[in-house]
Amino acid sequence: MIRNNEKATTGQGTRGILVTTRIEITPAIVEEHGLTPAEYAYLLEVLGREPTIAELGVFSVMWSEHCSYKHSRPHLATLPTKGPAVLHGPGENAGAVDLGEGWACVFKVESHNHPSAVEPYEGAATGVGGILRDIFAMGARPIALLDALRFGPPDEARNAWIIRGVVHGIADYGNCVGVPVIGGEFSIDPCYTDNCLVNVMAIGVARHEELMTARAEGVGNLLVYYGNATGRDGIHGATFASAELTEDSAEDRPCVQVGDPFMEKKILEATIELIASGRIVALQDMGAAGLTCSSTEMADKGGLGLRMNLDKVPQRAANLTAYELLLSESQERMLAVVRPEDLPLVARILRKWDLDACVVGETTDTGRFVVEHHGTVEANIPLPAICTHVPKPEPVQAAPAALDVRDWTTVDFAAIEWNGLLLAALSSPHFASKRWIYEQYDHQVQTNTVVRPGAGAGVLRIAGWSGLLASTIDGNGLWCMLDPYEGTRCVTAEAARNLVACGARPLAATNNLNFGSPRKPAGSWQFAEAVRGLGDACRALGTPITGGNVSFYNESPRMAVFPTPVVGMVGVIDDPSRLTPATFRNEGDVVVLLGPAATHAGGSRILRDLTGDLVGPAVRIDLAMEKRVQEHVLRLVGDGVLTAATDIADGGLLMALAEMALGSDGGLGCEIDLAADEAPAAALLSEQPSRFVVTCTPGDVESLLALSRDAGVRAVPLGTVRGGVFSIGGVLSLTVYELYEAWEKPL
């Protein structure tokens, strides 16, 4: 995958060239491989000679941001990654946490932003494939997907084409492999016009003893390649435009890979059988930088070396060079480390699935990556130089982005007609029903889906485990643009709040950090601030980070995306009977707001859509208060006091109430009264954190209020659940049917 490769975003071509080994390495070629003169000097020092073209390619991808995290690593190192539940933190294919009773949950999120912007269908489909392989390479069966999608406004034809293609690509791939999409988010803002964000989270489960690692052990063990044959697809965005490198028969080489979900399903089932056999030493999927990255990382983690013979690699294109074989990102390929005596059994399992076990190399004790092709040594590189001792980039002078922020009080609220405002917001693509999306996803296959997509967190049962698993994925570029530190803290808290609302105790988090260029002062600053916020929030909420992904260079010459960290979180509902719905349940229930009073409407999605401006100030969070409110809600859920709960996030109290009505069976609405001294704009639109809307029966109101008082959490009765009507005293009055009509418009 090329997501972190600047070449891909600056739109350089990808003309296909047959690269021979006899290429003189000129400064131009070095530059095309994204290496700075200082990095190249370090390369020469490491090798003690000029590299071959294959070696240059290997250094180039292994030192790229995606493989080396060279810009992000110093920041990511500050994140909390330990906790009692963490079994595997960052560094493995995916993180793993303990669910209890011997069960482990493996989860991770990855982006496929750049490929999806170029070829939405295949870009998104192969993104699903890649994250699923990360999960089953850990020994876990993938049981769910969640997607966080961000696009430019669909009234531009190209955006609409990208949206449809991405949704279709995720659907076709996930449906065929048979992994349900159980939740996600879909957001629209002009800042995502040139760079859509396609982040997919996958969740798997395994018994503790089935968990696999990507650390090779033992000298003389075999590297077994299985899955698709290798082609020219997805080779590093580096290009060779100079005449002396080009053959007359140069062909266009697609830079986005093509997915084959049937092959994915076969390697998934075969991998699970292989791991169950106990004969696999280490396992990794071939993702970014393909054969190179997967093999060298496993060997380096084990302190070993590698000898590889490229003649043994299955190939589906003629005359592939060593350079191409090493760097190809053809999809659905796996690499296992196997003891020689276990090869026959491994081959037999693979054959059951019509797969071949191809021995492409072996582990050595040299600490070097030695690659032969057609009888010639094409690469001989010390492994630490490409895996761990990566050159540090020159520091970028970080500086805040210059923002043109409009204060929320300058919006002419007197002119707002609230009925029309709500109906317009509900029919906008950001807030409108996502049914047209999730009905294209098989969200029930594997028969674990307890809470289907469409309302709050996705909830799964796991056969043989007494709890329920809740999961969510959340981001908010608008909050983070206004203040990346505070915004990221709020996003992380929102993810936790989503879990708490359904009755789940947040366990651990993963993340996908979508940013512009880290080589520019603003991008560098936004990234540093966001990671600082993520760490603060995760520490305060007790949700360690178990892994993640960084996607830089989400920018074009005319715009960069808002800084958009996306947080995926899993949580546990210990007692399934405490699963709490996010929608109105009973007519006559009392609606109560829990949490601090709203003081402003800055950061409001509705005001952003209404004005087109960046409306501030930024939302800020008191994490101690957040934690207190969350614990209080979990206590109320445990005591069986609540009939429904949802958190307040984008769209504010207004949208939280509307969604509780829209998701209800039988058209339940509510009659709400705001306090006389409260201005509707802040009360209804504020996206300030640490707030929930809950309902309880009239008989439980007194105890809810008393418990809240004792917990030090503000609780304000707002009104009552009513059939068919949706009214907010003196502000708006609609029927639930009118809300539904506005909301249920497919894109």
Contact positions vs other proteins (CB under 8 A): 171-172, 175-178, 260-263, 265-266, 269, 352-354, 438-450, 452, 461, 463, 576
Shortest spacing between CB 226 and other proteins, in angstroms: 14
Q: How far is CA 355 from CA 226, 316, 628, in A?
A: 7, 15, 53
**Catalytic status, residue 112:** yes
Q: Which amino acid is at 189?
A: D
State the DSSP H helix or E strand holding residue 54, giving kind and residue range, or none if neither: helix 53-62
Catalytic residue among 33, 71, 112, 443: 112
Catalytic residue among 66, 75, 88, 632: 66
Closest CA to 333 of 364, 296, 289: 289
CB of 273 vs other proteins, minimal distance in Å: 12
* 706: Cβ contacts below 8 Å, ≥ 6 apart: none
Taking every pair of Cα atoms in the chain, the longest distance, rounded to a whole number of angstroms, is 85
**153: which 2 tokens?**
């406004």
For the record, the structure tokens of 77 come out as 């190192």
Query: CB-wise, 182 or 491, nearer to other proteins?
Result: 182
DSSP character string of 615-647: EES-----HHHHHHHHHHHHHHHHTT--SEEEE
User: Whole-number minimum distance, CB 585 to other proteins, in Å?
Assistant: 16
**Cα–Cα distance measured from residue 512 to residue 7, given in angstroms and rounded to the nearest whole number:** 21
Angle at 181 between CA 426 and CA 187, to 5 degrees: 35
Q: Residue 596: is it exposed, middle or buried by C-beta count within 10 angstroms (0-12/13-18/19+)?
A: middle
CA dist 110 and 137 (Å) reads 15
Query: Which is it for strands 458-461 and 505-514: parallel, antiparallel or unpaired?
Result: unpaired
Amino acid identity of 463?
Answer: A
Give dist(CA 466, CA 99) in Å, integer.
Answer: 10
Q: Which is nearer to other proteins, 70 or 443 (CB)?
A: 443
For the CB of residue 637, give the shortest distance to other proteins in the complex, in Å. Answer: 18
Q: Is 430 a catalytic residue?
A: no
Task: Name the residue nearer to other proteins (CB basis): 171 or 222.
Answer: 171
How far apart are CB 28 and other proteins at their closest, in Å?
Answer: 43
**CA dihedral in degrees (72, 78, 79, 84; nearest 10)?**
140
- Backbone torsions φ then ψ of 539, nearest 5 degrees: -65, -45
Residue 715: both structure tokens together: 């609780």
Of 578 and 627, CB closest to other proteins: 578
User: Residue 220: is it exposed, middle or buried by C-beta count within 10 angstroms (0-12/13-18/19+)?
Assistant: exposed
Residue 168 or 539 having the CB closest to other proteins: 168
Instruction: Report the distance separating Cα 273 and Cα 265, nearest Å.
Output: 12
- Between residues 345 and 401, which has the closer beta carbon with respect to other proteins? 345
**Burial of 380 from C-beta contacts in 10 A (0-12 / 13-18 / 19+):** middle
Q: Is 59 or 173 the residue whose CB approaches other proteins more closely? A: 173
Burial class of residue 419, CB neighbours in 10 A (0-12, 13-18, 19+): middle
Q: Smallest distance from the beta carbon of 693 to other proteins, in angstroms?
A: 25
Of 453, 481, 444, 485, the residue nearest 621 (C-alpha): 485
Q: How does DSSP assign 497-556, residue by residue?
A: HHHHHTTPEEEEEEEEEE-S-TTSHHHHHHHHHHHHHHHHHHHHHT--EEEEEEE---B-
Rounded CA gap, 596 and 609, in Å? 25
How far is the C-alpha of 148 from the C-alpha of 396, rounded, in Å? 29
Judged by beta carbon, residue 438 or residue 553, the one nearer other proteins is: 438
Q: Is the peptide bond before 617 cis (omega within 30 degrees of 0)?
A: yes
Structure tokens at 486: 């505070």
We find the least distance from the C-beta atom of residue 653 to other proteins, in angstroms, to be 30
- The minimum distance between CB 168 and other proteins, in angstroms, equals 8
Give whichever of 24 and 354 is closer to other proteins, judged by the CB atom: 354
Least separation, in Å, of the C-beta of 315 and other proteins? 21
Least Å from the CB of residue 418 to other proteins: 32
Q: How far is the CB of 546 from other proteins (least distance, A)?
A: 27
Planar angle of CA 27, 28, 33, nearest 5 degrees = 95
For residue 272, what are the CA distances in angstroms to 259, 268, 288, 694?
20, 6, 22, 42
**Shortest Cβ distance from residue 176 to other proteins (Å)?**
4
Give catalytic residue positions: 66, 112
